[in-house]
Amino acid sequence: MQWICTSLILFIKGVETVLYNFINEVLFGIAEAVIILILFCILISRKSFFLENKIKSVLFISLYTVFSYWASAYFPMGYHTILIAIFMVLSLALITSVGLIRSLLACAIIMVFFIVSEFILATVFLLLKDIKFAEIVNVPSLKFQFSVVVKLAEGLVILFFYRSKIFEKPIFKKLSGRESRPLYLYFFLGIFLMGDLIFSINYGVSRGSNFGEYQILSCFLFFLFCFLGFFIFKEKQDLLHIRHKYQLQKEYIKNIETVIDIVRREKHDFINHINTVYAICMLNKPDATQKIKTYLDKLIDNLQCAYHFYHTGNEYIDGLLAVKSNRAFSHHIHFDVTFEELLDQVEIEDYDLISIVSNLIDNAFDAILSEPEHEGKIISVYGYIEDEDYYLSVSNNGPIIPAELIDRIFEKGFSTKKENKGEHGFGLHIIKQLVEKNGGTITVSSSEEETEFLIQMKRKKIEYGEVYTEDYPVNTAESSEV
């Protein structure tokens, strides 16, 4: 009976020790990670970060808790503190997208805050309990009591800083505008974790550590790191998409500004034309009426050819074609644009589409303008649907492309231009890559009469009930003149 009671007491003490260790190492680790994250956000003047980025915040808290427990168990005292500090700097810079130096300074302040607060509280705790510091480290119940006091005190201080306006202005003004490069930081964090995993094995072997626990912690750390990588990659993709949208808007605004400049110029010229007609009227010569009619007929013809507005189903392409039509008029080139079906039916990103069309039209201009004496210059842009695919044709009646060069024009760096050859030979290569990226194909044919670049692209599967939209006719793209 005494043996059973002794065993039961030992079992209870063992469970109590495990429970205390779990609370001290895991739950207080989570509390410490929360305090670090909030204090870091306060120091970089982004108090709302952990509220607006819940996934990132949870990810950091999980990573920090696992890493700090793993480092404390499998590295010597002192070394694990340095490793945790380095981990803080890299992970917080990565998650909050702040500069590495700024993260280093903020983490240094956090470490000083922890050292000072724990030293003061430890001194008071030891005096009140009349114990030695070694007992706090080795006795789980005392460590639990001390940790509760420390985390509560630190939490109250952080709450005061969070509610106050002390850190509303950046404390690192010169570094506040510098952002980190997530991919580089993720790479460095991966190397750091891999190095720690390798070197910790030696220490674990020499101590005879529990390698079952080591493997579990390593797996947790690995999966959390992979999830962080997926999140960073997705965020990078979203950022690139936003950047592409920004570039599209920038290009669209540039085209609109060009249109405004042209309209402003036309307005100025129109005043001169009015003055000319008025002068003919004032002269009141017998053939004045005929002269005015002839003058206005020529003026109207020029105005109709000078500038067009297009409706292609893509507003960015509309702006691009409007600018190109004016360039064609200034070089006496007939710019023919016809869209039997609108571009909104094409399965392609706007940014890629405008790059493709812009480069093809620019190449057509280069080809035609390479022969200044050539008459009857024509550039055609034609969009239509055939066999469920969308076709976009850009052609010109410039010089023929020799048959032996047809297969090489899409090669990177290949160019038939003699001047500044190093700056050419990339446009068609980029076009081919963008077309194939979006599941399309591009072919070229050239003869004495015409050189045509024909792109075949996927058509969107837009359904209305069981019937595709192609059963309902769409208005052909038309242009209106200014």
Q: What pLDDT is attached to residue 29?
A: 84
Please give the share of the chain, as a percent, with pLDDT higher than 70.
Answer: 71
Which of 18-22, 304-308, 448-452 shows the highest mean pLDDT? 448-452
Contacts 24+ apart (CB under 8 A), 399-402: 399/367, 399/370, 399/371, 399/451, 400/446, 400/447, 400/448, 400/451, 401/444, 401/446, 401/451
Query: In the predicted model, what is the mean pLDDT of residues 344-348?
Result: 86
Q: Say if residue 169's pLDDT is above 70.
A: no
Question: Under a CB-based contact definition with an 8 Å cutoff, are residues 447 and 466 in contact?
Answer: no
Q: Is 78 left (phi over 0), alpha (psi -120 to 50) or beta?
A: left
Least confident of 191-205, 271-285, 375-389, 458-472: 458-472
Q: Say if residue 206's pLDDT is above 80.
A: no
What pLDDT, in 10s, does the model give residues 263-315?
666 665 666 667 777 677 776 777 777 777 777 766 666 655 555 778 888 88
User: If pLDDT is split at 50, 70 and 90, which confidence band does 420 have?
Assistant: very low
**Count of CA atoms in the C-beta half-sphere (13 A) of 160:** 6
Q: Say if residue 336's pLDDT is above 60.
A: yes
Task: Please name the residues in contact with 426: beta carbons below 8 A apart, sequence gap of 6 or more.
Answer: 412, 413
Residue 31: other Cβ atoms inside 10 A: 19
Report the length, in residues, of the chain. Answer: 482
Query: In the predicted model, what is the mean pLDDT of residues 389-404?
Result: 89
110 forms bridges with which residues in the sheet? none
Q: What pLDDT is attached to residue 387?
A: 84
**456 three-class SS:** strand
Rounded-to-integer distance, Cα 235 and Cα 247, Å: 18
Q: What pLDDT is attached to residue 15?
A: 45
Backbone angles phi, psi at 381, to 5 degrees: -125, 125
Question: Under a CB-based contact definition with an 8 Å cutoff, are residues 43 and 110 in contact?
Answer: yes
Query: In the predicted model, what is the mean pLDDT of residues 20-36?
Result: 77
Of 3.30.565.10, 3.90.1170.50, 3.40.50.150, 2.40.30.10, which CATH number belongs to 309-481? 3.30.565.10
User: If pLDDT is split at 50, 70 and 90, which confidence band does 256 have?
Assistant: low
Query: In the predicted model, what is the mean pLDDT of residues 408-417?
Result: 72
User: If pLDDT is split at 50, 70 and 90, which confidence band does 89 have?
Assistant: very high
User: If pLDDT is split at 50, 70 and 90, which confidence band does 414 have?
Assistant: low
Query: In the predicted model, what is the mean pLDDT of residues 435-440?
Result: 89
Q: Say if residue 1's pLDDT is above 80.
A: no
Q: What pLDDT is attached to residue 45?
A: 83
443 forms bridges with which residues in the sheet? 454
State which H helix or E strand residue 117 sits in.
Answer: helix 100-129
Question: Under a CB-based contact definition with an 8 Å cutoff, are residues 374 and 383 in contact?
Answer: no
Q: What pLDDT is attached to residue 260?
A: 65
**99 three-class SS:** coil
**CA dist 169 to 44, 47, 48, 173, 403, Å?**
9, 11, 14, 8, 67
Q: What pLDDT is attached to residue 466?
A: 39
Average pLDDT, the chain: 76
User: If pLDDT is split at 50, 70 and 90, which confidence band does 481 have?
Assistant: very low
**CA dist 179 to 44, 103, 477, Å?**
12, 10, 45
Rounded-to-integer distance, Cα 85 and Cα 106, Å: 11
Query: In the predicted model, what is the mean pLDDT of residues 414-420?
Result: 58
Query: In the predicted model, what is the mean pLDDT of residues 89-113?
Result: 89
Least confident of 97-111, 187-201, 238-252, 315-329: 238-252
Q: What pLDDT is attached to residue 376?
A: 84
What pLDDT, in 10s, does the model give residues 50-78?
888 888 899 899 989 888 888 877 777 77
User: If pLDDT is split at 50, 70 and 90, which confidence band does 468 have?
Assistant: very low
Rounded-to-integer distance, Cα 32 and Cα 27, Å: 9
Rounded-to-integer distance, Cα 252 and Cα 312, Å: 15
Q: What pLDDT is attached to residue 417?
A: 59
Question: Residues of CATH 3.30.565.10 domain(s) within the chain?
Answer: 309-481
Q: Which residue has better confidence, 88 or 69?
A: 88
